[in-house]
Structure formats: C-alpha cells, structure tokens
Amino acid sequence: MSNCGKLKIFLGYAAGVGKTYQMLEEAQTLKVGGTDVVIGYFEPHARKDTIAKTEGLEMIPRKKVMYRGSTFEEMDAEEIVARHPAVAVVDEFPHTNVPGSPREKRWEDVLFILDNGIDVLTTMNVQHLESLNDQMAQITGIKVRETIPDWVVKKASEVVMVDVTPRALLNRLERGVVYPPDKAKRAMENFFKESSLVALREMALRQTAHEVEERMEQVNNDGAQAANLPDSGSTTRRIEDAVVIYISDDPSTAMLIRRGRRVADVIHAKCFGVVVAEDGGFQKLQPVKREAVERHLNFARNLHIDTCVLTGGDPARELVEFARSHNARQIFIPRVAGKGMDRLLGKTFVNRIVGLAHDMEVTIVAERRQGEGAK
C-alpha cells in the first residue's frame, strides 16, 4: 500500500540497554517538532528515568480482555487507528496477546496500525528474531517462546541498535536500574552472564549490519531503476538461486526451517520447504506423523517459505530433482540414521542425498534438544 505507515525498530540484545528510553526520546523530539505522537503501549518496569520520558505524551488507554475469569490489559490497536496519529509508540514488539484479543501477536497489531497509514516506533531484542531462535538457545540456555518472523522485521524502514557494553549493562543491574535487587541477582546468575551478553551483543551487531546492507542494496536497486539502467529483464540476468528445506515429522525440522530461511535471506535466494510422501500420498501417513508434518509446513509458511508436497517411491531422488529444477544452491536435511544393512552399505537417506546432490551444498542439521517442534 502506498499510504502504509513506516516502521522503525529500536533493537537491543537484552533488557536494560535503553531501547524504550531512546524510543521515547525520539517521540519527544517528534512532538517538539510538531508531529502528532501517541503512546500506544508502554511497559514501565518501574524504571523512573524511562517513565519520566513519557511526560507530556498522550497515552491511548489499554483495552481490557477477560480470560479464564481474570481481566488483562492489552494494547488497543483499534483505538489507535480511530485516533489516527501520525506516529504511534509501541513497546515490546514480540509480545503475545491474551487469548480473545483481535490478533494473537503484538507484531500483528503493529502491521494493522501500519496498514492504516500510521508510523510506528517499537522495541525488541535480537533473541526474539525467529531465524536466530536456536542459536540464542545455545548461547543462553533459554528457549525464547515469543518470536517475530524475519519478514516482519524486514518491513522496517529503519532498524536502530541501542547499545551498551555488557560490563556497563551489568553495572546497571548491580545498581538496581534494570530490576529490583533480588530479581537483578537472579538475572546475573542466569541470563545476564557476561559471556552470554557478549555473544548476544555480537549477534545484535551482525543483525543490524545485515539490515543496513539490505536497505542499501534496495536503495541502489531503486536508483538504478529510476535511472533506466538494465533491470531484471536483461538477457544477462542470472537465474535466481534457491534454498530447499526437507520437511518431515523429525523434531529437528523447526531448527532446519529457521536455518534455511536465514541462509536464503543472506544470499537473496528463493526458499522452498518440501515434503516427500512415498507412494500412497501425504494422507497415508500415520496421524501422529501427519500432524507433525502439517505443523512444520504451517511454521514454514508463517516464515514466507513456499511449500510443496511431492510423491514418489524414492524420496531422496524426488527431493534432489526438485532442488536441481529450481536452481538450488543448498539443501537442508535432518540427520536421520539408517537401519541395519542400509547403514552399513551407505544407503541412508542422508547418504543418498549427498550422493545425488553432487553439484549442491548439503547441510545436515541435528536437533540438540530432542522433542521440540515448531513454536
């Protein structure tokens, strides 16, 4: 939509780095300049300096939602759209709404606000980016449940990293700036270990650099088109690359999908999720397996991955032929052990793929924590 609002994300690597403070500081600057700004949602966390930054800014009242006999408060996206400011400030982008809300996720609320021509300033930490979910769990030992698909973040016209050194952040914790003393102590014993913070900060810096490169490339492409330079219609255009992800009931599939999607984004390739059902079709699978495959297919679609169900007596050959016909550079498959003589003869599914896909890169991914599927 041409009248769609612009999204600006203030990205951090942990609570307390100052995302909300900087977002509110920008809101105040916009207000001084004459822009109509409202606070759509703000989470104070009892931080006095941050709360002070809301002074003089109009706040849209929260909506009350009843759930299981209790009353909860959520952002009222419909009221923000009815008020129709130029800019809405929305804290905690990855938040999951209470059941019974018009939309499941706050990022969906934000897309609704943007679609109605209102600019949005929002905040999130890098560990909530879907494609980094598994890496973050390995770094911190904590599985983040509230995630945002990468394609949503790519809608942002600007991503600003709010940065402090891990040592400075730990100092804030020790002084009680981020959490009360008892909660701060527990945090430093768990998530807020200095080694984890260093790794998270590095991930945030890399992600911000990636977002900058993406936007610079888009600007260059737009400039070339405006100058009537050769575009994608040129006869010398390289066929678009692709990444193919094998989707099955295997628990590692969720990790496989995240990693494949991220690689496709980095190399600017198409991304396909492929199920190969043996003769008899997808519906012939056992109910438990079919449910797992359907869950993984839906997860892939939520990340804007094109999905396809193939049938055939030789799953490895079907997958490789599909990949080759779509000019795939990489195939992502799970580590699935063979049985009996097949393993001894090197005829496992993995070995078959590697042998057939001699002109492609095959990435084999194993789930470190068994039993976890798509979330």
| Upper half-sphere CA count for residue 275 (Cβ side, 13 Å) | 24
**What is the rounded CA–CA span in Å between residue 186 and residue 183?**
5
User: What is the full DSSP assignment across 24-63?
Assistant: HHHHHHHHHTT--EEEEE---TT-HHHHHTTTT-EEPPPE
What single string gives the DSSP state of each residue in 65-123?
Answer: EEETTEEEEE--HHHHHHH--SEEEE--TTPBPPTTSSSSBHHHHHHHHHHTT-EEEEE
User: How far is the C-alpha of 9 from the C-alpha of 107, rounded, in Å?
Assistant: 11
Contact present, 163 and 208 (Cβ < 8 Å): no
> Cα torsion for 303, 306, 307, 308, to the nearest 10°?
-170
**Amino acid identity of 243?**
V
What's the confidence (pLDDT) of residue 233? 41
Count of CB atoms situated within 10 Å of the CB of 356: 19
pLDDT on residue 152: 95
Residue 39 and residue 89 in contact, taking contact as beta carbons nearer than 8 Å: yes
Task: Supply 70's token pair.
Answer: 């209790």
Could you give all domains of the chain from N- to C-terminal order, each with its CATH number?
7-218 (3.40.50.300), 242-365 (3.40.50.620)
pLDDT for res 123: 97
The whole-angstrom distance between residue 7's C-alpha and the CA centroid of its chain comes to 15
Phi, psi of 57, deg, nearest 5: -95, 135
Give me the residue label for tokens 């209102």: 118
In 3D, which of 258, 239, 240, 241 has the Cα closest to residue 360? 241
**Type of residue found at 360:** M
pLDDT at site 221 = 60
pLDDT in the model for residue 236? 36
> What's the burial of 252, exposed, middle or buried (CB within 10 Å: 0-12/13-18/19+)?
buried
Q: How far apart are CA 29 and CA 50, in angstroms?
A: 15
Q: Which pLDDT value is given to residue 251?
A: 86
Contacts of 356 (CB under 8 A, 6+ apart): 316, 317, 320
pLDDT the model gives residue 371 = 42
Residue 334 buriedness (CB in 10 A; 0-12 / 13-18 / 19+) = buried
- pLDDT per residue, tens digit, the chain (375 aa), is 458 999 999 999 988 899 999 999 999 999 999 999 999 999 988 888 899 999 999 999 999 999 999 999 999 999 999 999 999 999 999 999 999 999 999 999 999 999 999 999 999 999 999 988 888 888 888 888 899 999 999 999 999 999 989 899 888 888 888 888 878 878 787 778 888 888 888 888 888 877 767 666 665 665 555 555 554 443 333 457 899 999 998 888 999 999 999 899 888 899 999 998 876 666 777 888 889 999 999 999 999 999 999 888 888 999 999 999 999 989 999 876 555 545 554 568 888 898 899 889 998 887 654 444 444
* Helix axes of 181-189 and 166-174: crossing angle, nearest 10 degrees: 140
